[in-house]
Amino acid sequence: MAENRVYEVVFIVDPEVGDEDLTRLTEAFRNIVTDQGGSVTKSEVMGRRQLAYKVGRKNEGIYVLFEIEGTGLEIAELERRMRVSDQVLRYLTVRVDEDRRRAEKLKARRARKAAKRPFAQGAAAGGGRGQAPAPAAEEEGEA
């Protein structure tokens, strides 16, 4: 069996589509993914936005984001259905699991390096870099 991957799918829906039709469309796409063996972990309607350029005489569209876990077969079927749907203006699918894994690795490395630095603890207490040390009380008394 193939390894599960994480994908983000953003699609733009025709702005003339009503709220109930939009709900019906997103549920149909969610069912396509689940029927193919995947799962939609996040679904967000980002709302009506201005497009960067005209798409079929449309200046704006309704943006929808899906985060999908699956093998990739459900993505192929989902994209096929989006391609033939008149309500979907554009779509984009990006695999994000490798990027997230790489970001977590870099974050952990940064945390390890920060823990090794001797000035990291002093900077948190207010003794930041580039500041002269405060004069001792004994030196002030002698002058």
Give backbone dihedrals phi and psi of 13, rounded to 5 degrees, phi first: -100, 145
Residues 6+ apart with CB under 8 A from 26: 43, 45, 64
Per-position DSSP letters for 37-71, written without gaps between them: T-EEEEEEEEEEEEEEEEETTEEEEEEEEEEEEE-
Task: Give the three-class secondary structure for 115.
Answer: helix
pTM of this prediction?
0.69
Query: What pLDDT shows up at residue 143?
Result: 45
What confidence tens digit (pLDDT) does each residue in 74-87 have? 899 999 999 998 89
Regions of the chain with pLDDT less than 50: 139, 143
- Which tens digit of pLDDT belongs to each residue from 38-54? 899 999 998 899 988 88
What domains are defined for the chain?
Answer: 5-99 (3.30.70.60)
